[in-house]
Amino acid sequence: MRVDGCAWCGERRDETAFGTRVWSGRVSDAYFARRGRVMVVWRGRHVVEPVDLSPVESDLYHREVLTVARAIRDCFRPDRLNFLTVADEEPHLHTLIETRYPGGVGDPRVDAAALHASLM
């Protein structure tokens, strides 16, 4: 279902302005951007805030966010992972997962192919 003006509603794409799709779950897609950033995008009905999800939708979405996060952790071994769920730039529910290493965010050795393989 597409909501007018929402870049994330409607067709699930392999490539977006954010990055390359590395995983498709039941209710979300994960897109890889440079330097270890991954965005998990809700693919159900149009929702802006996580509080607008039903309990079942919330459980499914957050399980998929954690599935992607575990793959990131296991594949790239960051010191930490940061999770950010916001709707200020794109008014559609999504969670940004960032790898943190000594000295800052990301690692240039992190790549989409390795993450995609670890999610398979």
**Which of the two residues, 104 and 78, has the higher pLDDT score?**
78
Q: How confident is the model at residue 106 (pLDDT cuts 50, 70, 90)?
A: low
Candidate from 15-19, 27-31, 37-41, 108-112 with smallest mean pLDDT: 108-112
Query: What does the alpha-carbon distance between residue 111 and residue 92 come to, in Å, rounded to a whole number?
Result: 25
Q: How confident is the model at residue 112 (pLDDT cuts 50, 70, 90)?
A: low
Over 50: is that where the pLDDT of 1 sits?
no
CATH homologous superfamily of 20-119 equals HIT-like (3.30.428.10)
For the residues 88-110, what does the mean pLDDT come to? Answer: 77
Query: What does the alpha-carbon distance between residue 72 and residue 87 come to, in Å, rounded to a whole number?
Result: 23
Tell me what percent of the residues of the chain surpass a pLDDT of 90. 44
For the residues 29-47, what does the mean pLDDT come to? Answer: 88
